[in-house]
Structure 1
Amino acid sequence: MPNFFSFEQGSENKQARINAEASPLLGRFRAVPRPQPQSSGLSPRRARSGSQAQINLLTAGYRGSVHIGYGALLAAGLEVEEDNTDDELDLERAAEGGRWAKWVCWGRRLWRKTEDTWVTPKAAAVKRVVDLWWSRWAVLVVLPAALAVTWCAIPFPQYSLPDDFDDPLDPGHSDGHRIPGHGDVRVQVNFWFFLFIYYGFYNLTALIWITKVFNLYSLNWWPTSLGFPVTISIIAVLSLAVPIPLYYIPETRFLTIHNTAWITWTFIIMAIPVAIAFGILLTNDRHLGLRHSLSETQRIFTSSWWAGDPDTSIPRRHTRRRPRLNPASFDPDDPIYHHDSTIFAHNPVSLPARRWLPASFVRFMWFCLALSVGLLAYVIGEAYAEIYLRTLPHNNLETIVYVYGWILTVNLLDGLTGWILGGNEGERVGSYPLSWVFKLYFVLTYQTYVRALYARLRSPQQFVLLQLLSSTGLIIVTPCLMSRPLHWLLAITGLNSQSYGSYQKTCVRNVFIRFLAENASMLAFLGSVVVLHFGANKDVYPYFAFDDDMVGEDGYTFELTFYASSVTWACELVASFVVAGLIQWIYGVSVVTEGKLDLAVWPELLPTSVAVMLHVLQNMLFSIIRLQFR
């Protein structure tokens, strides 16, 4: 008797094997750990240990849901076997060789650790970085903030303004002079330096962010025939080439002084990878339900057998098929069937094919929609900042309306993106790492625009009022959001379909992400205030100059901005410790442990998060630069 099904003896140990249906989704594919092939250049021991590390991470402490981090509350039992074979060989070679051999071996070790952490992240390397508080702060807070501050501190070639200069952004310059929110333009800058150095690095970070997000989705957006280096080089050249005619044509040159125009162009550049990926899927017929011919047995269970519809749009093999029935026999009055019968006899594809969209293509469409909402967010943020800066100065009430209006806008966009990504496996995109990154993006986007607002607060009372509202909301509202009654209310109203464990995990993850966003944005803000106020680019960023006509009793000063912001940061740190302690005490959940485990289970989150944070911090600085080209 033939064997129709393969049978394999099972085991009572649930952790002996990873079920593919219970493994976490990394976009289109499940994160089922596979051993590294020996042909990849790794030693057999290193390949085995890397695979074992992934298995230990994914099987440590089941809690019944893929979206709760695979044992987030049992992180103490997480053990990762690390392989030091290559390091030991390097040390032996260094001991046998001379000084040059020691430098070579040290370089190999450094590159190997860098590759395992940033290029092709591995769970063991990422876990080693995020386990210690100082290294976690260094890579997730200090690194993106330092890169953003260094980027804006590179000295611009500057030129004096002509005598007949008239600032188009400052209409009423003579009588009734009102300083714009950006500050008075003071110098002209070199267009080519701005384009190739300043704006070029800004665009490069944006493309890296898009690429890392596609990596989390497990999809390469570039054509295979060209490859990633060639494709991204073409897009980079395009991003720098298009603004050049606008600069040389007098009728369009006015666009180059508007920050919103540059950010809109970056939005278009970031949308190109999405369009390329969409085009690749259409070219490969990924939008078609059937890309291969059906067998005779398969066709019995489809409409193509009894209705005569073609089983696929791809040319079919010549097989014996049941004769086509006359379509007019179904509905003689339907005008769609009023055709010559010879057409149906000789043209087997004359009827429209029954098409259905495969789940992978539908998931990709949801993913593209989420990316579009995310990219649109910082364009809206730039427009929002322009409105605020053009209506300065503001009183306390206007400041609160602006801040919480922006909070409402960001939360609405964040909620829409979260719904698109889905809270459960198989729900639209259904990717926990993607929801992690997009949550970080929106929280940091909100934080950066609030930080830039601090430079235009007029009194300590405004700082105290904003911080009181923020800290009170964090300490009181956050533990209440994690309560079981609130989850029950959201469930019965249809606003949340997650289990309580998944919902609780999501809330704790959001708190961890908020901590990262607050600290990184404040560190970048304070660093940029100091660098741009005392550095070479002070006249390029008059927003931080604090030496215009507004300085005085009710004006903006460096001392008020820096010291009040520092006190605000200290209050935020205290509030973070308080809310983390409350969550630990009430629910028995460690916020830091949950965040560390997410980064270890999905190691690609680390470089993606750094790229996202750097890009958003650059947006904060790009929105306040004053551009006037020579």
Structure 2
Amino acid sequence: MLDLLGKKAHIAPSPSSSRAPRPPRTSLQSARIPAASTPPPTSPSQIGKAVPRPRRVSMVVPHDSETGGWWLVVMRPSRERVEGWLASWWKRWTVLVVLPCLVVWLWVAVPFPVADPYQPGDSWHWPTPWSRHWPIPWTPSATLLAPGKVASLLLRFASSSSRNETTPDAPPPDGDDDDTLLPLDLNFFFFLLFYYGVYLHVALLFTTKIFDLYRLNWWPKRIGGAVSYFFFWAAALTLGWLVHDLDLIGAGGRKEGGDRGTDWERKTFWIGLTFGTMACPALVCFSVLKRDKRHLYRHSLTNLQKAFLSRQLARRIPASYLRFLWFMAALATALFALIAGQAYTSIYLSTLPHTSVDAAIWVWSWVGTTTTLSIVSSQILENKVRSKGLLFLFKYFSSLVYFVFYRNLFARLRSPADFIVVQTLSTIGMIIIFPLQMTSFFHRALVFLVGYPKTLEEHREGIAINVHTRSIAQNVSMVGFLGWLAILHYGPNSAVYPFFRFEDNPEDPYNFQFTFWASSVIWASELSSSLVMRLICKFAFKVDINGIGFGVMKEYPELVSACGWTSVHVLMNILMFLLKLNFR
């Protein structure tokens, strides 16, 4: 506005709008959620307008330097630190493969306090490493190693706090079917506070890292992350204790006459409780955004504009809110992939034994399932959410879910022919299918048939990321599998993980040594086929798989931490489902 003398008039900002200036725009605002602070009015038309309500959820601020302690290094490493981790192959292997597997190995190696289900007065004991060769799982407690005084007092307190004290009067006679025999009793409070507590803790960290890549903290800003995190973790443990203590689902205590059905019910409940807890952060974030009316256009209108435009704007949804809804859909797809994996595992275990053809059918049906879910989530993240970091993480997640099921299939392959059939199919997919997808002919076919919008260079970059995430998932799943295979065979938890228990029978080649070395040979063939495929891509198509994959990690430093927690969560998830639950 100009005054009568031609000079610009000074407009004093109103007290309600006198706030700090808006910070400079960064990639942080790719989530398109308006900032809490607003700039002062810059034109007369802005004077008197309503000030937007402050945001109740906080944004994740990317940073290039670290000012916190070790926890910040674990959760949000700086770009400089990530570049140092990725500078050499042994550092990459340590951070991306060894450390996640080490966390899982330590978790699964801690012995469960157990008790003899056919000895009513038997107290809790630590199982011994040689207990894997018990004739039956409930060998008298004389073969068990008594704990120290402090541990004994804690276990005695935990055992006296449980309501489910039903104990059979005597062991079943010799010759009964193994399916009707009861496994060892597990201490429920050890399972709840340590085994399940650590598993749930990692699941919430995995969810938090997904929101980090979306550049949005899921907790309310006034409450804070630590309080919100502890509340959901403690609430889930409390709910699990109540369901067990009150026997609300009929699977709280031990059942006589076999417990195959109740064992499935128990594991379904605990994993379902985990998925429900993982969904709570999304629901909290969704409710906060709804309460702040982020799903509506909040532009202030003049009286004339209100008369003509208010109804039209009320029917429109902001693009930022639609983006958030698509992000929620991708997260639901990830959780469904884990549920599908549990279903495949349950059906596979209930239909043992399998032939070589059966094993191949199982593998390829699981390949089809994970590929379909990966395509759905990739399309959502690439076209709707438009987040390269989330796209990379979800591709890695899908590959890891597939390979974890595929690895544990090895524990039930009984002949070299089974391993050869399964691995031949996997090698064909690595050496032939991926290079074929990079050809210009394949790209032109996609453009002609489905109107593929990507250029050839973008298409090859996407295939390279698929190969890179698949390679990391291959190594993580195999290293983790070989580690817990040895731990559960030689360690004290063999009795509570019968899936990994091998009997020394000269007439049956199905034993630990055969499974371990056959799996190692498969891993060596996978490394060789991966090297051949990378060389084909490098010399035939000028595509550097490692350069593209690690380049994305350097661009999004949070990806390294996110991939690590994803590995721990997925590996723990399959072990959680294979645990034999039987509570006193």
Tell me, in whole angstroms, the C-alpha distance in 1 between the residues paired with 2:313 and 2:517.
69
Measured after TM superposition, the shift of residue 522 of structure 1 is 0.4
Partners of 1:189 and 1:278 lie apart in 2 by 39
Q: In structure 2, which of residues 378, 384, 401 is the aligned counterpart of residue 418 of structure 1?
A: 378
Counterpart residue number, 2:487: 531
1:189 matched to which residue of 2? 186
CA 1:175–1:534: 2 relative to 1, 3 Å: closer
Shift of 1:162: 1.8
Bigger shift: residues 253-262 or 478-487: 253-262
Distance in 2 of aligned mates of 1:390 and 1:260: 15
8 Å Cα contact 2:76-2:561 kept in structure 1: no
Structure-1-length-normalised TM-score: 0.71
- Distance across 1 between alignment mates of 2:295 and 2:498: 51
For residues 174 and 393 of structure 2, the distance between their equivalents in structure 1, rounded to whole angstroms, comes to: 48
3-state SS of the aligned residue for 2:294? coil
One-letter amino acid of the counterpart of residue 434, structure 1: L
The residue aligned with 1:270 is 278
Matched, 1:393 2:353: yes
Partner of 1:538: helix, strand, or coil? helix
Q: Relative to 1, partners in 2 of residues 1:250 and 1:430: Cα closer, same or farther, differing over 3 Å?
A: closer
**Which of the numbers 558, 561, 565 marks the counterpart of 1:604?**
558
Q: Aligned partners of 1:277, 1:237: CA distance in 2, in Å? A: 19
520, 523, 532: which is aligned to 1:566?
520
State whether residues 296 and 314 of structure 2, in contact with CA within 8 Å, keep that contact through their aligned partners in structure 1. Answer: no
Matched AA of 1:355 = R
- Could you tell me which runs of 5 or more consecutive residues in structure 1 were left unpaired when the two chains were aligned: 5-19, 31-50, 55-82, 84-108, 312-351
Gaps of 5+ in 2: 9-23, 34-61, 121-137, 139-165, 253-261
Q: Sort the Cα spacing of 1:421 and 1:27 in 2 relative to 1 into closer, same or farther, 3 A.
A: farther
Evaluate the alpha carbon distance shift between residue 415 and residue 355 of structure 1 in structure 2; reply closer, same or farther with a 3 A threshold.
same
Structure 2 residue corresponding to 1:580, chosen from 516, 525, 534: 534
User: Amino acid of the residue matched to residue 534 of structure 2?
Assistant: A
Name 1:46's counterpart in structure 2: none
The one-letter code matched in structure 2 to 1:293 is: S
Matched, 1:460 2:416: yes
Q: 2:365 aligns with which of 405, 425, 444?
A: 405
- 1:56-81, CA deviations, whole angstroms, 9 ceiling, x for partnerless residues? xxxxxxxxxxxxxxxxxxxxxxxxxx
| Partners of 2:471 and 2:195 in 1: CA distance | 29
Equivalence for 1:203: 200
Instruction: Name the residue aligned to 2:496.
Output: 540
Q: 1-side partners of 2:374 and 2:399: how far apart?
A: 8
Alignment partner, residue 473 of structure 2: 517
RMSD: 3.2
Establish whether residue 591 from structure 1 lines up as the match of residue 545 from structure 2.
yes
Partner-residue secondary structure (3-state), 1:310: helix
Distance 1:185 1:472 in 2: 44
Letter in 2 for 1:385: T
Taking only the aligned residue pairs, the percentage that are identical comes to 34
Matched position secondary structure for 2:495: coil
| Correspondence for 2:331 | 371
Match of 2:300 in 1: 293
Equivalence for 1:282? 290
**Equivalent position of 1:333 in the other structure:** none
Q: In the superposition, relative to structure 1, how do residues 115 and 29 fare at CA in structure 2: closer, same or farther (>3 Å)? A: farther
Instruction: Work out whether residues 97 and 472 of structure 2, in 8 Å CA contact, stay in contact via their aligned partners in 1.
Output: yes
Q: Name 1:227's counterpart in structure 2.
A: 224
The residue aligned with 1:28 is 31
1:469 matches 2:439: no
Alignment of 1:129-528 (within 5 A): 129-162=85-118, 177=177, 186-250=183-247, 252-254=249-251, 257=263, 258-289=266-297, 291-295=298-302, 299=305, 304-306=306-308, 310=310, 354-422=314-382, 427-494=383-450, 496-528=452-484
User: In structure 2, how many angstroms separate the alpha carbons of the residues matched to 1:251 and 1:537?
Assistant: 28
Distance 1:533 1:554, change over 3 A: same
Deviations 1:374-430 (A, max 9, x none): 1111112111101100110011111111111111111111111111112xxxx3111
Q: 1:524: Cα distance to partner? A: 0.5
Change (3 A) 1:400 1:174: farther
Secondary structure of 2:492's counterpart equals: coil
Asked if structure 2 preserves the Cα contact closer than 8 Å seen for 1:437 and 1:605, the reply is: yes
- Asked if the contact 1:117–1:126 (Cα under 8 Å) also holds between the matched residues in 2, the reply is no
* Alpha-carbon separation, structure 1, partners of 2:173 and 2:395: 42
Matched residue SS, 2:185: strand
Q: State the shift of 1:571 in Å.
A: 0.7
Question: Contact (CA 8 Å) 1:583, 1:589: kept in 2 or not?
Answer: yes
Distance in 2 between residues matched to 1:624 and 1:389, nearest whole Å: 10
Are the aligned partners of 1:515 and 1:576 in contact in 2 as well (CA < 8 Å)?
yes
CA contact (8 A) 1:127 1:596 kept: no
- Measure the CA separation in 2 of the matches of 1:560 and 1:429: 46
SS across alignment from 1:208: helix
- Residues 28, 215 of structure 2: 8 Å contact kept: no
Amino acid of the residue matched to residue 341 of structure 2? G
**For this pair of structures, how many residues does the alignment match?**
480
CA distance in structure 1 between the aligned counterparts of 2:191 and 2:467, rounded to whole angstroms: 37
The one-letter code matched in structure 1 to 2:294 is R
SS in structure 2 opposite 1:131?
A: coil
How far apart are 1:612 and its partner, in Å?
Answer: 0.6
CA contact (8 A) 2:496 2:581 kept: yes
Structure 1 residues 192, 555: closer, same or farther in 2, change over 3 A? farther
Letter in 2 for 1:618: M
Q: TM-score, normalised by structure 2?
A: 0.76
User: Contact conserved, 1:532 with 1:544, CA < 8 A, in 2?
Assistant: yes
